[in-house]
Structure 1
């Protein structure tokens, strides 16, 4: 892609946000300027909807988002889910059954209600929003798989994230998608065919934008499908090796506004 892109898509954590999970004023201003000038800017993230407010509070205007690794497409202006592609209860139950047989000590959580709420097993380790009213432990394993979930989360103690994801993906081959977006040993599971690429492609089709005209930024394995799909794929320099291997270009790290710096080269600084 040599021409100015018709749409900009970016991951959030480790890409746009600095390591302290703040968005620099510089990056916020660049995103606002590009969006206001008429080029759509879309956040494409593993985050659930309920975690977007932390980012929106740092922007002049909220941006549309592809959440939960592609399972949810969200319009923040209308507070409306445009599309959701969850794991059905029967599929959730089979995924959980296979992983309990394959991974000793595995524990689960599910993102439900289009990722506005979370349910988790009592022994599932919560890392961030344990005190949120939208988070609740279930009383039985069966309760965890009673309703559709846009994402199933799996942990099994201290794990190498790449190896653990390979184990989970192998157990679920042909049944569901497995990826990871952190180094904490968390594996994120979506319905078969649901990826950041699929969610973003649906949104771009809605706008009449081709993949060739999309500029995308990312840093972790869950970004690989999106970066492979987009016409121009840019990794931040702090990215996982899987992302660096497939990116068309590399920009500066998330800690030094790498995305904003690249966007200014493409769109200008005025």
Structure 2
């Protein structure tokens, strides 16, 4: 962890839900927006790094007035040009074997396969705030007919802890998966793809030193990103495993913990 009091990171990776945005209000606070604006004005590269789809990320870029750089969506599987609001690259995997295994282990789960820039194919309707963009009902066969960047399983009417217990220690074929600590969700992306791996690729391309990186997040899908950063900051409401992966813990999202962490660096 960087300890120099005068240190200012050049690459700032920020999770959305539970970090930038308070899930209880579905809003980014004025204090957090001002803190992010201060970082941008200082010349640092802000990268929104989220499990959300591209369609769910674009409103966040608008809210933060980010008009340059890169956004990493779908846990790093989809890279978006923040200026042009266009997809730059997509990594995919074959969802068939994964869906079959999840359907066996999570009976009654509903599924969503991302169609980048268009919405999702779903086996049953998700709540609007859970999936961003149009939802098209599809059979399981239709869902697995083409490679996808992201597959979601929602074990409806179960608790997140039940999903953790059911999937403890397993490996799903050809993919990386993370669990949600708010909802009974499994998010699946291509093997080897994480927020951390996508950020490392971007860092190398930008020529930014590894010691000049910062990340903040609150979920299991943020663990690799927090470990990647020279300073990883976990939100105060994050579960123990996420806090353990970070260098420090700030206040919860409801108390503008991200703004506090950024304001200490960019006064």
Q: TM-score, normalised by structure 2?
A: 0.89
Secondary structure at the residue paired with 2:63? coil
Of 52, 74, 91, the residue aligned with 1:85 is 91
Within 5 Å, which residues of 2 pair with 1:201-216? Answer: 201-216=200-215
- Equivalent in the alignment of 1:12: 16
Of 121, 128, 131, the residue aligned with 1:119 is 121
Of 50, 54, 61, the residue aligned with 1:56 is 61
**Aligned residues between the structures:** 261
- When residues 185 and 226 of structure 1 are mapped into structure 2, their CA distance, relative to the original with a 3 A threshold, is same
Aligned partners of 2:101 and 2:172 also within 8 Å: no
Shift of 1:185: 0.3
Within 5 Å, which residues of 2 pair with 1:69-148? Answer: 69-87=75-93, 91-113=94-116, 116-121=118-123, 124-128=124-128, 134-138=134-138, 140-148=139-147
CA distance in 2, matches of 1:238, 1:62: 30
- When residues 120 and 17 of structure 1 are mapped into structure 2, their CA distance, relative to the original with a 3 A threshold, is same
- Equivalent in the alignment of 1:223: 222
CA distance in 2, matches of 1:204, 1:137: 38
Q: Deviations over 1:168-227 (max 9, x none)?
A: 464434532111244120110111111111111122122112333211101111100110
Long gaps (5+) in structure 2: none
Secondary structure at the residue paired with 2:25? coil
Secondary structure at the residue paired with 1:12? coil
- When residues 162 and 178 of structure 1 are mapped into structure 2, their CA distance, relative to the original with a 3 A threshold, is farther
Q: TM-score, normalised by structure 1?
A: 0.88
- Higher alpha-carbon deviation: 249-258 or 220-229: 249-258
Secondary structure at the residue paired with 2:80? strand
- Equivalent in the alignment of 1:21: 26
Root mean square deviation of aligned Cα: 2.2
CA distance in 1, matches of 2:21, 2:233: 16
- When residues 174 and 96 of structure 1 are mapped into structure 2, their CA distance, relative to the original with a 3 A threshold, is closer
Long gaps (5+) in structure 1: none
Aligned partners of 1:112 and 1:148 also within 8 Å: no
- Equivalent in the alignment of 2:184: 185
CA distance in 2, matches of 1:29, 1:175: 41
Secondary structure at the residue paired with 2:95? helix
Of 40, 44, 50, the residue aligned with 1:45 is 50
Shift of 1:155: 1.9
Q: Deviations over 1:53-99 (max 9, x none)?
A: 33233223346311111111111211222221112xxx211111222
